[in-house]
Amino acid sequence: MTMDDSIQKASRIGERNKEIIELAQNWCGHLEVRQSGGVGLVEIETGLPIGMRSFQCPYASAAGLAGMNLEVVALDFYDRNCVGCKDRLPVRLPNLSSLVGARDADQKRKSEARASRAEKQAHDLATRAARRENLARGCDPARAGIFSLVDALDREPNDHNKQVLLATAAASVQHFDASIQEALYDLALGGGFTRAETGLNC
């Protein structure tokens, strides 16, 4: 990164911090911004709030963070002190409520995406387990044991289950018939490095 790039990056931080400070001061007339540490040359030249800062309030019940990214600092202070505060002195819009709303909406989207992924993974696992059960129907005890090892690794893709299955494949290669190979191929497509690596190696 060149010197010019560093100056531009610092200036962008300062511009965003300036917006955050305005939102915070619009949120409550009691909020103050305090300098934490020294002032750099870019801040001196531009007048932008680039250095580390924190938010202060005479009614705050908990200390907040100090940092250069004032969006993080402001949201932390809000969560610790502003939720449900009875001494808030509203000023104008827009204020921190827009920042909090955007943050909460983003967290909700991520939470819903995680839940959707987990639901799909559970559905896919159940589908693979049902196929294994069908492939294992009527097989001999040795092959039934191998199917159970494949199932264990699919449900808990950890190193222990991986090593047990690989060792079994090395010691009992004669039992790895077409039905077990199909289950292993299914396992390899199940997602995740451990499933794929172990299924293909077997």
pLDDT at 1: 63
pLDDT tens-place string over residues 7-38: 899 899 999 999 999 999 999 999 999 998 77
Q: Which residues contact 28 (CB under 8 A, 6 or more apart)?
A: 57, 82, 85, 88, 89, 90, 91
For the chain, the average pLDDT equals 93
Which residues of the chain fall below pLDDT 50?
A: none
Please give the Cα distance from 44 to 50 (Å, whole number): 9
User: If DSSP codes are grouped into helix, strand and coil, which group holds residue 29?
Assistant: coil
DSSP letter (8 states) at residue 111:
H
Count the neighbouring beta carbons within 10 Å of the beta carbon of residue 42: 19
pLDDT at 65: 87
% pLDDT > 90, the chain: 84
pLDDT at 95: 97
The residue ranges of every structural domain in the chain are 3-94, 117-201
